[in-house]
Amino acid sequence: MAPAVRLCIEGVRFHPARAIPDRSRVALLAGLRRILSAATLGTALAGGAWLALMAAVAWRSAHPLIGLVDGATRALVADAGAGPVLDEAARTLPGAISLLTPAVAVAVLVTLVRYGASRVRAERRLRMTPEEMREELRDREGSPPHRRAGPRGGVAAEGAAAVGQVVAGGA
């Protein structure tokens, strides 16, 4: 929505020079450091572990189905009476497909756990420190006029000087 509003207000602003890479803005070593950082490698290892878990469950669940397909394929290739193999496959195929339910359940579980973990990490990054919280509350309260400028100046001192002039008869 925001890009559409900007487009309506500012119009089309295309500058081909901005599409050309600027070597001064690209830091190769900083990029490589970021790619090879402990956080990136940890994220890659965690992703690999989750993927291995899902693959193991899928393999274990699909193993009977793979055996049926392999047997039917061998019977068809050998052309040695595929009828009994296909009949057995037709009987056991629904049961073998239902064995894939754990793989789907693990995939959903992994997705939910990873989403929850990334959400918690994002909220921790956004969380204020106690000092930031005190500053925020102090800024929201606002400061009284006599505190703003200190003991010798500011709104309170100017108001007192004006009152003193009126009382003394000067304006």
Question: To 10 degrees, what angle do helices 101-126 and 38-78 make?
Answer: 170
43-57: average pLDDT: 88
- 132 has a pLDDT exceeding 80: yes
> What pTM was computed for the model?
0.43
The parent domain of residue 95 ranges over 46-138
How far apart CA 92 and CA 78 sit, in angstroms, is: 22
Q: How confident is the model at residue 171 (pLDDT cuts 50, 70, 90)?
A: very low
Establish if 1 belongs to a structural domain.
no
3-state secondary structure of 22: coil
Establish if 19 belongs to a structural domain.
no
- 56 has a pLDDT exceeding 50: yes
Give the E-state strand segments of 9-85 in sequence order: none
Q: How many residues does the chain have?
A: 171
Smallest CA-to-CA distance from 83 within 74, 91, 72 is with: 72
Establish if 129 belongs to a structural domain.
yes
Q: Which two tokens stand for residue 86?
A: 């296909």
50-59: average pLDDT: 86
Q: What is the CA radius of gyration of the chain?
A: 35
User: How many domains does the chain fold into?
Assistant: 1
Establish if 66 belongs to a structural domain.
yes
Establish if 159 belongs to a structural domain.
no
Establish if 68 belongs to a structural domain.
yes
- Beta carbons of 72 and 82 less than 8 angstroms apart: yes
Comparing 83-87, 101-105, 122-126, the range with the smallest average pLDDT is 83-87
- 114 has a pLDDT exceeding 80: yes
pLDDT at 5: 78
Q: What are the CA-CA distances from residue 17 to residues 2, 20, 84, 145 (Å)?
A: 24, 6, 70, 51
Establish if 63 belongs to a structural domain.
yes
pLDDT at 2: 73
Establish if 78 belongs to a structural domain.
yes
pLDDT, one tens digit per residue, over 147-166 is 555 555 444 555 555 545 54
60-66: average pLDDT: 76
- 144 has a pLDDT exceeding 70: no
